Structure 1
């Protein structure tokens, strides 16, 4: 059996809560139960689970996002906390050797992290993507996964973006450009 890894991308307070610093709001909140459910199911199946979470330093003038977005997911703030029931899932499984927390600096979970090394060490051939935003961090992670030769699955009910148009674009791109399997 080929090993799989679920990659949970940026489902944090700053990206999801109404008062988050860079929130997707209602569309991201709507997947709250589903993202927790599929994460727990992946863990229960024996899959690896990676929580890849945006990390920024306060007042970092060198980070390119500083020019694009308001400060968000700042080290040491509650904005980096997992949102909703996913936080409870993480708390219940975080001590398991199949569960990882990875800080990331860029959109892609692969950029500047050792995610690829950890996946290859474990024989992972397929990555299952969940999180926010479908058209930014999830998409960039999928592109890097594609370029690195991974099979990609995206759980459409466990990813979200700010607008329906952006979300639809991302789902189309996952399937028709990256060859991802879209699961409900």
Structure 2
């Protein structure tokens, strides 16, 4: 029997709000209601939901993103908080045993985190990935999930990027190279 989990990647203020430090803006805001609905569906079925959140320190000379992107998702700032209705929903479901919040320090949600161990402990073999950015953190998370043997579902209505060309390329890559179900 298929056991599934929902992975919500980097749906933070800095990535979604108009004044976010590295925002997808309107593209990221358009997926908000879809994410809320999917989280509610998973919770209603007692399936696991994982919120995976980018974590940075201000002016970290050791982190490669410091040279690539403006400071974002800085520890202790409001920019790192979940965004909008997703934040509101999380605050109501957070005490549940099947809701998890994991900090991550790289694009890949598996790198240096307990995500794989938590999924395996729960006999999960299928992950549905939502969030931002399609061609960065969602992509790297999907590649790792594929390499670790998970089946992938990536709804087009649940992912976004500030780079439309990269977004479209990543959707094609998920389907054609990783064998993901792209809906």
User: Residues 128-139 of structure 1 correspond to what in structure 2 (within 5 A)?
Assistant: 128-139=128-139
TM-score normalised by length of structure 1: 0.97
- Other-structure match for 1:148: 148
**What SS does structure 2 have at the residue aligned with 1:6?**
strand
Aligned counterparts of 1:12 and 1:141: Cα–Cα separation in 2 = 17
Structure-2 separation of matches of 1:164 and 1:72: 20
Give the strand-richer structure, 1 or 2: 1
> Which runs of 5 or more structure 1 residues have no equivalent in the other structure?
none
Q: Deviation per CA, 1:29-80: give whole Å up to 9, x if none.
A: 1111111111111111221000000000112110000000111000000001
Name the structure 2 match of 1:181. Answer: 181
Structure 2: which 5+ residue stretches go unaligned?
A: none
DSSP-derived class of the 2:113 partner: coil
Instruction: Name the structure 1 match of 2:89.
Output: 89
Alignment correspondent of 2:7: 7
Classify the secondary structure of the residue corresponding to 1:124: coil
How far apart, in 2, do the equivalents of 1:64 and 1:163 lie? Answer: 20
Aligned residues: 183
Distance 1:164 1:55 in 2: 24
TM-score (norm 2): 0.98
Structure 1 residue 160 corresponds to structure 2 residue 157: no
SS at match of 2:23: coil
Secondary structure (helix, strand or coil) at the match of 1:162 reads coil
Tell me which residue corresponds to 2:64.
64
Alpha-carbon separation, structure 2, partners of 1:58 and 1:35 = 29
SS of residue matched to 2:126: strand
Q: Partner residue of 1:51? A: 51
User: Can you list the C-alpha shifts for 1:154-183, whole angstroms capped at 9, x where unaligned?
Assistant: 111010011322211111000000000012
